[in-house]
Amino acid sequence: MTSQVRKAAEKPAVGSFRRIPLLATVALVAVLAAACGSSGSGKSGSLGLAKGAGIDVGVVAPFTGAAAEFGILISAPCRAAVYDINKAGGVLGHKLACNEIDDYGDPADAVPALEKAFATHSNIDMAMGLESNTAATTVPLVERQHIPFFTASGLVASDKQTNDYFYRMSPSDDQNGAAYSVTADKLGYKRVAVIYANNIGASGNIPGTVAAAKKLGMTLSINLVIPGDETSYSSTVERVIASKPQAIIFYADPQTSATFLANYSQLTGGKLPPMITASSNVAPDFVSALKKVTGTTYLTKDIYFVGQAVQNTLPAFATFAAAMKATGAPAATLGSGVISALYDGVNLMSLAMVEANSASGPVYNKDIIKITQHSPGAVIVHTFAAGAAALKAGHKIQYEGTGGPIQFNKFHNFVGSWGVERLTATGNPVQYSYIPGTEVLSYAS
């Protein structure tokens, strides 16, 4: 299999945005043998870098295949963070670059691609992405390289993971599933149909959805897992209609969603139930696919997108938004808390390198949590530039990112709050309501 690792010379310049055929869904990260030499041990120089080397951020995500758009979305915060960091002089005098590693959205195919990346690029000193579909095989490989990484995975197994190099600042699937039921309840829907596609990123939400619905006293009119990308769902839709739901909690890729709703509309004379879905569906391909079968009114009035909240009034958001715009990221990504959390993750790893005066994973890893914690006399910073300047001046720092203060638990997980969004007529998300994280977590399984 041909490696999909992009070399520096093949990468588009910062400020441009590579176009890939748009589809969508979700997946997770990568692995390699220690015999290849860890990031922290096989390099020369006091900074843990080979002389003259840059610092690469390994972006592990699908860049080809059915989930290719997810790779575009995950690359966006890397490019934005790298743009800001390099504008501020880089890390320890070294420029950063995003090194895209195609995991194909497949756990088996991801392994050789990741192995090839580590074997041929010794300057991958941090990583991000590692989505749910491939995480089971790829995360262990990155861990063995002793490279800190921030993941977009929602795997529940990671809620109590114990690896020192793992960091997650987004909810698990159980927690997201609970948020969908909490949202339905707050909207006044007590009888809902639950329909998820049969992939890890979607169906992993089921336990949390069911547990929360039960605790909230809701009735699930039907609970289904459906195959993706079928030519028709008419028989399934008939069962859903017969169950008489007030609303549907639905999570699938754009093609599946569009076909399902088209069949529903055909069988009900154009009447569609309100939909509660994931904020990751706020993407051009999803909006375009559904608009063709539902029209603009349904998209803007009856679909509620639920996910990690983005707090656009916080100081860090303006810098994040400007960098995303400068690097050509899709406008819809500004509404995704998972995307902004990955941006913060690159900033945190880079500032930890500055604090440790080293790009070696085993050396700077301990400083990632250190610079998020409150300590007497610490300067609160909201950007890499401000943090690097404060550290250079001899100050301690506390980084507060696009979601505000960060409080990792002992499992290196941090969950903020949830936002419910609706779309404008132009396809951009606007916040409809806000749900505190503690409320959602109290209903999670």
More confident residue, 430 or 141: 141
pLDDT mean across residues, the chain: 87
pLDDT recorded at residue 69: 80
> How far apart (Å, rounded) are the C-alpha atoms in residues 346 and 327?
15
Domain end residue (candidates: 136, 151, 171): 171
Which whole number is the average pLDDT over 107-128? 94
pLDDT digits (tens, 9 = 90+) for 256-300: 999 999 999 999 999 999 999 998 888 888 899 999 999 999 999
Q: Are residues 74 and 214 in the same domain?
A: no
Residue 15 banded pLDDT, cuts 50, 70, 90: very low
Count: domains in the chain: 2
Q: Are residues 132 and 184 in the same domain?
A: no
pLDDT digits (tens, 9 = 90+) for 219-260: 999 999 999 999 999 999 999 999 999 999 999 989 999 999
Which whole number is the average pLDDT over 353-367? 97
Taking the whole predicted model, whether its pTM rises above 0.75 is answered as yes
pLDDT recorded at residue 366: 96
Q: In this structure, what CATH number is given to the domain that contains residue 286?
A: 3.40.50.2300
DSSP code per residue over 396-419: -EEE-BTTBS----TTSB----EE
pLDDT recorded at residue 285: 85
Q: Are residues 17 and 147 in the same domain?
A: yes
Q: Are residues 185 and 130 in the same domain?
A: no
Does residue 342 fall inside a structural domain?
Answer: no
Q: Are residues 203 and 143 in the same domain?
A: no
Q: Which helix (H) or strand (E) holds 287?
A: helix 284-301
More confident residue, 417 or 84: 84
Does residue 388 fall inside a structural domain?
Answer: no
Residue 68 banded pLDDT, cuts 50, 70, 90: confident
What percent of the chain has pLDDT above 90? 72
pLDDT recorded at residue 319: 97
Does residue 381 fall inside a structural domain?
Answer: no
Q: Is the pLDDT of residue 8 over 60?
A: no
Which whole number is the average pLDDT over 301-313? 91
Q: Are residues 187 and 302 in the same domain?
A: yes
Q: Are residues 114 and 226 in the same domain?
A: no
Q: Three-class SS of residue 337? A: helix
Range of the domain at 259: 174-309+416-441
DSSP 279: G
Residue 202 banded pLDDT, cuts 50, 70, 90: confident
- The token duo for 369 is 């949590």
Angle at 441 between CA 439 and CA 445, to 5 degrees: 130
What percent of the chain has pLDDT above 70? 88
> How far apart (Å, rounded) are the C-alpha atoms in residues 195 and 226?
7
Q: Is the separation of the CB atoms in 165 and 357 below 8 Å? A: no
Does residue 341 fall inside a structural domain?
Answer: no
Q: Are strands 303-308 and 379-381 parallel, antiparallel or unpaired?
A: unpaired
Domain end residue (candidates: 126, 152, 171): 171
CA 267 and chain centroid, separation: 35
Q: Are residues 121 and 198 in the same domain?
A: no
Q: Are residues 164 and 273 in the same domain?
A: no
Beta strands in 38-188 (DSSP E): 55-61, 96-102, 124-129, 149-151, 166-167
Does residue 264 fall inside a structural domain?
Answer: yes
Q: Are residues 208 and 163 in the same domain?
A: no
pLDDT recorded at residue 31: 28
Q: Are residues 200 and 142 in the same domain?
A: no
Q: Is the separation of the CB atoms in 236 and 208 below 8 Å? A: no
Least confident of 104-108, 130-134, 424-428: 424-428
Does residue 346 fall inside a structural domain?
Answer: no
Does residue 247 fall inside a structural domain?
Answer: yes
Q: Is the pLDDT of residue 336 over 50?
A: yes
pLDDT recorded at residue 48: 62
Q: Is the pLDDT of residue 133 over 50?
A: yes
More confident residue, 120 or 6: 120
pLDDT digits (tens, 9 = 90+) for 393-415: 999 999 999 989 999 999 999 99
pLDDT recorded at residue 241: 98
pLDDT digits (tens, 9 = 90+) for 28-53: 233 222 223 333 333 434 466 655 57
Domain end residue (candidates: 171, 194, 209): 171
Does residue 360 fall inside a structural domain?
Answer: no
Q: Are residues 162 and 56 in the same domain?
A: yes
Question: What is the C-alpha end-to-end distance of the chain, expressed in Å?
Answer: 40
pLDDT digits (tens, 9 = 90+) for 422-434: 999 888 888 899 9
